[in-house]
Amino acid sequence: AGVPLVSVADLSADEHVPAFLADGVESDCNSKVARYQTIKKFVVLPHMLSVEGGELTPTMKIKRNVINEKYKAIIDGMYSPGSARPSEPPQPRP
pLDDT band for position 80 (cuts 50, 70, 90): confident
Q: Write the pLDDT tens digit of every residue in 4-13.
A: 768 889 888 8
pTM value is 0.68
- The CA R_g of the chain, rounded to the nearest whole Å, is 15
Domains of the chain, by residue range, sit at 8-79
| pLDDT (0 to 100) of residue 88 | 45
Question: 3-state class of 62 per DSSP?
Answer: strand
| pLDDT (0 to 100) of residue 18 | 87
Tell me: pLDDT of 60 over 80: yes
Which segments of 19-71 are extended strands (E)?
A: none
Residue of 39, 36, 35, 46 lying closest to 74 (CA atoms): 46
Q: Write the pLDDT tens digit of every residue in 21-54.
A: 999 999 999 999 999 999 999 999 999 999 999 9
Q: How far is CA 92 from CA 9, 36, 43, in A?
A: 13, 28, 12
